[in-house]
Structure 1
Amino acid sequence: MKRGIAIAGLVLLLAGCGSSTTGTEALNKAAPAREFAATGAPAFDEAMTDQAVTDRKIIKNASIDLEVADPEQAARSVARLAEQFGGFVSNESLYRDGDGVDEVTFARLQVRIPADRLTQFVDALKADAIDVRSLDMTSQDISEQYSDIEAQLSNLRAYENELRLLLTEVRDRPEAKTDDLLSVFENIRQVRGEIEQLEGRQRLFDSQVSLATVDVTLTPSEAVAPLAREGWSAGSILRQAVRGLIVALQWIASAAIWLVAFFLPVLVVILVPIGLVIWLVMWIVRRRKRSATDGGDGA
């Protein structure tokens, strides 16, 4: 409140000097006020501060891993339960792990629940499960960050209003220049961008505070897991084995073709010159030895 009064007084002072200053000069004088408005320092009196202490902004989250008989069916039950508590499922995924008779299905859900009903929702989840494998509940106090955003928004909005008044004043001056108008427009654009950015962050905080996030993992119970996977067929396994054999034979045939059509010609091209060089060297060596032997006999 005190900051808003200070900004208003400063701009009124600038307006009083409008006849002898241009729009750019006024903006230069108002720059400290703009920096003062954007600092986000507390702009509340003691009564408002006490009220902020009682109205805490808490983000609540929970993560729970439940052991259930059928994860797919349990996932549908969790979705219905979330609707009963006034929430919804924001993300859901089913995946399989293992192979053959060891293959099992898991489910993961992210649920948004009204924060004031988080504990009741978690208790209802536990009641429907065979066992609770793990449970973690956390809370984060963002009251200070939220109050800082509110202070910055209040001051920036006041500064934006004064800039618009200044724009009107510059427009009404007979000696107003285009550069002066553009300078005021640019400052308004920058302030509006900061306001929208802070408003977006404030909306995100409001969503996180009003709706708690619950990450639910549904793990199948070993006690109720089937001994054999449904749909198992000896014929299907046989077809898979035959396909595997065909793939292996195809790989061996491909390797043989590469050996005959590629590697052997390459080896011939490389080894034939090397063999000729070796044969030539050996022939020269033998010839010299023979010449040396004949010379010794003649002597």
Structure 2
Amino acid sequence: MLVRRTLAWVVVAFGAGLAGGCGVPASKSPAPEGASKQLPEKQAGAAKNGADANAAARVPMIVYTHTLDVVVSDLDVATAEVDRLVAEHKGYVVQSEVRGDRGRWRAATYTLRIPVASDRAVRNAVLALGTPERNASEAQDVTEEFMDVEKRVKNLKEQEDKLNALLLEKRKEEKLEDIKSLMREIAQIRGEVERAQGRREYLLNRTTFATTNLSLREVKDYTPPTFGTQIGATFRTSWDAVLSAGQSVVLFAVALVPWAPVWGPVLVFALWQVRRWRAGRVPSPLLRAEPTTPAG
């Protein structure tokens, strides 16, 4: 009897020990490693996307303008190459002009619009056509103006939508005069929206395409100027100005000849009046008083 009780207590104690050693609270079980990293990764991704969105919204809007003067040996070859470059890089020509005759001094001027992505490549190719005399660039930041226009367009559209909704309500109950007044206000807002959208499109075009003012001058066997050649060029320029002034005087005199019946009598009358005036100022000898001698 005593042995049975002892064995029963041993079995109970052994079972209690197993239960105490193996039982682990569910709340203290470790979480999977992937789950612990999932939330911080999502937060980091959201923060990165937000930063990218802000950076995209703050991309600078720059208007690029270039002025290029290039001396070329063959103007026909140079102009053909300019046209090819514009077509290849999907740009367009705003204005072009060729002056002079073959065998004489000739020049060409262009106003080009080139996509900003191809701007540098086109500029380098144009400068390689000959000897650059001028290479100037200007950049204008219009980011703030563009953002203001964007906000203005958004606000005007919201105001227009509210007025249109109000117009639908007033058509059911208001007078005709009130409806007409509201329609005039809507038309005014619509005009402001279109003007703001036009300005926005203009800024987008100016920042998408760079403007290049190109001047090509044809000079056979061109060599860069030295101090001596500059002196000679200055003298020739001055002498040409003298000859041009003399030619202008001669041409003016020739142009007056057909008008001689008109200005001839006027000139004769003017000369006669001048002679009368001068004659009136000089006293006649007969009118001069003879000096009197005292008597005695």
- TM-score normalized with structure 2 length: 0.60
- 1: distance between equivalents of 2:208 and 2:138? 15
> What's the secondary structure of 1:61's corresponding residue?
strand
Change (3 A) 1:86 1:272: closer
Find the counterpart in structure 1 of residue 154 from structure 2: 154
Question: What fraction of aligned residue pairs are identical, expressed as a percent?
Answer: 22
AA aligned opposite 2:181: S
> How many residues of Structure 1 are paired with residues of Structure 2 in the alignment?
222
Q: 1:52 aligns with which of 51, 57, 80?
A: 57
Residues in 2 aligned to 1:282 and 1:187: alpha-carbon distance in whole angstroms: 92
* Structure 1 residues 223 and 167, CA gap change in structure 2 (3 angstroms): same
CA gap of 1:247–1:112, structure 2 versus 1, over 3 A, is closer
For 1:249 and 1:205, how far apart are their aligned partners in 2? 54
Q: Distance in 2 between matches of 1:64 and 1:247?
A: 37
User: Match of 2:106, as an amino acid?
Assistant: T
Match of 1:168? 168
* Residues 1:61 and 2:65 are matched in the alignment: yes
Task: Indicate how the Cα distance of structure 1 residues 80 and 260 shifts in structure 2: closer, same or farther if over 3 A, else same.
Answer: closer
**Could you tell me how far apart the structure 2 residues matched to 1:93 and 1:285 are?**
77
1:264 shift after superposition: 4.6
Structure 1 residues 95 and 171: alpha-carbon distance in aligned structure 2, compared to 1, 3 A threshold: same
Residue in structure 1 matched with residue 85 of structure 2 by the alignment = 81
The reply on whether 1:283 has 2:281 as its aligned counterpart is: no
For structure 2, list consecutive stretches of 5 or more residues without a partner in the other structure.
Answer: 1-49, 224-246
* Aligned-pair CA distance for 1:188: 0.8
3-state secondary structure, aligned to 1:223: coil
Report the TM-score, using the length of structure 1 for normalisation: 0.60
Question: How much does 1:270 deviate?
Answer: 5.2
Greater CA radius of gyration, 1 or 2?
A: 2
Paired residue type of 1:120: A
What is the CA–CA distance in structure 2 between the aligned matches of 1:84 and 1:78, rounded to whole Å? 10
Q: Deviations over 1:185-218 (max 9, x none)?
A: 2221221111011010011112112221112121
Check 1:257–1:114 CA distance in 2 against 1; reply closer, same or farther (3 A cut): closer
Report the Cα distance in structure 1 between the residues aligned to 2:163 and 2:177, rounded to whole angstroms: 15
Say which SS state the counterpart of residue 140 (structure 1) adopts. Answer: strand
SS of residue matched to 2:140: strand
Q: Quote how far apart the aligned CAs of 1:85 are.
A: 1.2
RMSD: 3.9
* Gap regions ≥5 residues in structure 1: 1-44, 226-242
Match of 2:188 in 1: 190
2:107 partner amino acid: F
8 Å CA contact 2:64, 2:210 repeated in 1: yes
The 1:82–1:274 alpha-carbon spacing in structure 2 relative to 1, beyond 3 Å, is closer
Write the letter of the residue equivalent to 2:182. V
Whether the 8 Å CA contact 1:63–1:214 is kept in 2: the answer is yes
Deviations 1:47-105 (A, max 9, x none): 8544302x4433233222222112343123211221111112211123359xxx9x622
Give the match for residue 209 of structure 1: 207
Q: In 2, distance between residues paired with 1:149 and 1:121?
A: 31
CA deviation map 1:15-52 (0-9, x unaligned):
xxxxxxxxxxxxxxxxxxxxxxxxxxxxxx98854430
The answer as to whether partners of 1:72 and 1:94 remain within 8 angstroms in 2 is no
1:1-299 mapped onto 2 (5 Å cutoff): 49-53=54-58, 55-96=59-100, 104-127=105-128, 129-173=129-173, 176-221=174-219, 223-224=221-222, 261-269=265-273, 271-272=275-276, 275=279, 282-286=285-289, 289=290, 296=295
